[in-house]
Amino acid sequence: MPVLEKARALIARPSVTPDDAGCLDLIASWLTPLGFTIERIDAGGVSNLWARRDPVGKPTGRVICFAGHTDVVPTGPLEKWTSPPFEPTVRDGYLYGRGAADMKSSIAACVVAMERLANRRPASADFSLALLLTSDEEGDAVNGTVRVVEALQARNEKIDFCIVGEPTCVGRLGDTMKNGRRGSLSASLSIKGVQGHVAYPHLVRNPVHLAAPALAELAATTWDAGNEYFPPTSFQISNAHAGTGAGNVVPGSFEIMFNFRFATASTVESLQSRVHALLDRHGLEYDIRWTLGAKPFLTPRGALCEALTEAVATEIGIAAELSTTGGTSDGRFIADICAQLVEFGPVNASIHKIDECIAVADLEPLARIYERTFERLMTT
């Protein structure tokens, strides 16, 4: 089972973010004999790889890309693992190890799919095959995929179709693919007041009292109605703090942190403008600092969604559901240079947990799904 062998070889490397632990060198050794050109775009202690196999005489041909990450989250207490996290172990039909589901098995399956396509289809086919891999997805994500995208943008390279191998499935392989993700917009809000003794309310301005009606309105506001693919934008307060620790002192400021998870039905500018207008209408004196964690992206039904859906139906016999749920992924960076992007990979029930695992029986079907999808796109 070539997928199992490759997955085990990757899991055996303790690539806790942002350490690649030699994974990219190993992957490059698999790709180079297939005619891939290997380029390292490392930055800030992060390992990044851009590998591309172009049609003969057509280096500007259309590009089908697989994207992913070799880094994994920390293991947690080693004594709680049934078998060591970096000693890949097959037990009761499952492959155990940190990264088994998120997402070294996806990378192994993709490489096998690329091998089969490269061996079966001539290099003159009118599509380039590419892989974009990083060791900085589980960590800060500031020197990983985004740096590769910047390098590709600088030389005007684009991607036509991209599959990000994140673990997207819920109950069984093939049940879910992500065709978009919500954006994340955070703010740190400071409401100003006047500190003083609680027994002299005429000498103070309590910022908690002043802010409460505005916060209630923010929490009750309907920001948008969502759309066919996304739920409505959500607003959540994550932290609120005021006070000196003394029970007889009115605080001089009230600090609030909140977050929007927003769909393509809203924009960063529209959300910021509405928040400022609401705070101003309540007559608050405030400072606010905004942080854009991710822009939303969406791939409507089209060639890529259809190709992947058809591949899943052929190999697994089920209809994959389109979903935009969950947090952020590196797809948010790639979407800037990619016309169509989806995320698809194994069952995510064990990711980031003790005894992370993937069903061995899912490895080969995952490779065949990737292979069928790529091949279908090549004839699009």
Q: Is 69 annotated for ligand binding?
A: yes
Q: Is 138 annotated for ligand binding?
A: yes
Q: Is 285 annotated for ligand binding?
A: no
Contact partners, residue 236, CB within 8 Å, separation at least 6: 258, 259, 261
Q: Is 276 annotated for ligand binding?
A: no
* Domains 2-181+297-378 and 183-294 alike in fold: no
150 is catalytic: no
Q: Is 375 annotated for ligand binding?
A: no
Q: Output Rg (C-alpha) for the chain, integer angstroms.
A: 24
Note the CATH number of domain 2-181+297-378.
3.40.630.10
Task: Give the DSSP H or E segment for 181.
Answer: strand 180-181
Distance CA 135, CA 86 (A): 16
In contact, 171 and 348? CB cutoff 8 Å: no
- The tens-digit pLDDT sequence of the chain (380 residues) is 699 999 999 999 999 999 999 999 999 999 999 999 999 999 999 999 999 998 876 666 789 999 999 999 999 999 999 999 999 999 999 999 999 999 999 999 999 999 999 888 665 467 899 999 999 999 989 999 999 999 999 999 999 999 999 999 999 999 999 999 999 999 999 999 999 999 999 999 999 999 999 999 999 999 999 988 999 999 999 999 999 999 999 999 999 999 999 988 999 999 999 999 999 999 999 999 999 988 899 999 999 999 999 999 999 999 999 999 888 889 999 999 999 999 999 999 999 999 999 999 999 999 999 999 999 998 87
CATH class of 183-294: alpha beta
Q: Which of 54, 71, 356, 362 is catalytic?
A: 71
pTM given for the model: 0.88
> Nearest Cα to 103, choosing from 329, 351, 361?
351
Q: Which of 20, 115, 137, 330 is catalytic?
A: 137
Q: Which residue reads 């080969």 in tokens?
A: 364
Q: Is 219 exposed, middle or buried (0-12, 13-18, 19+ CB in 10 A)?
A: exposed
The 10s digit of each residue's pLDDT in 39-49 is 999 999 999 99
> Nearest Cα to 254, choosing from 204, 201, 219?
204
> Nearest Cα to 89, choosing from 172, 167, 7?
7
Residue 91 structure tokens? 């037990």
Q: What is the DSSP letter of 354?
A: T
Within 282-346, where are the H helices? Answer: 303-315, 331-334
In contact, 232 and 222? CB cutoff 8 Å: yes
Angle at 334 between CA 350 and CA 182, to 5 degrees: 60
In contact, 254 and 292? CB cutoff 8 Å: no
94, β-bridge pairs: 91, 359
310 is catalytic: no
Contact partners, residue 116, CB within 8 Å, separation at least 6: 367, 371
The 10s digit of each residue's pLDDT in 162-193 is 999 999 999 999 999 999 999 999 999 999 99
Domains of the chain, residue spans: 2-181+297-378, 183-294
Residue 79 structure tokens? 């004594």
| DSSP helix/strand/coil, 307 | helix
Length of the chain (residues): 380
Q: What are phi and psi of 274, to 5 degrees?
A: -70, -35
Q: What is the DSSP letter of 33?
A: G
Q: For residue 311, give Cα distances in angstroms to 41, 105, 136.
A: 32, 18, 30
